[in-house]
Amino acid sequence: MDPRFESPVDRAVREAAERGEFDDLPGRGRPLPGAGTTGPVDENWWVRGYLRREGLSGDALLPPSVQLRKELDGIDAAVVRFVDERRVREHVDEVNSRVVDFMRHPMGPRVPIRKLDADEVVARWRAGRAPRRTGPAAGAPSPARAAGAPPPGRGWWRRLLRRH
């Protein structure tokens, strides 16, 4: 570039600085935030700061193939909030349509992506919603107690010592 050439933008900035229009800006004379001298400068400090301030996830910056793969891997966590099977199947169909679109027009790095089996997702969803029993019914002995096992609270070493 010719050192004698000055673009209109550069000229406007230079003239504004000569007039002193930048003198009263906040932070004048201080280093940029995130560009500290204690370690290497992170070239994406401003992006990370923006995401943190706005409460956004960094996943939005990932390539589409990686975003889709993360969504496929987290499908069980995504459907746990649904209350009926119909909605789970609709969500799986929606994700599968995005998978098909991606397979037709791939973008980004190659990652293994396949369609979800709605029946498998629904089965895992049902298993996660099944009421869990915390113990035997009141008054019924546990199978271990019925077989003559020591009462709960005894350590394995006591059982071992009783055998000898």
* Chain segment 6-63, per-residue pLDDT in tens: 899 999 999 999 999 988 888 877 776 665 556 677 778 788 888 889 988 888 788 9
- What pTM, to 2 d.p., does this model score? 0.53
Name, in order, each residue with C-beta under 8 angstroms of 3's C-beta and a sequence gap of 6 or more. none
- State the DSSP code for 163: H
- What the block records as the tokens of 38 is 């204690």
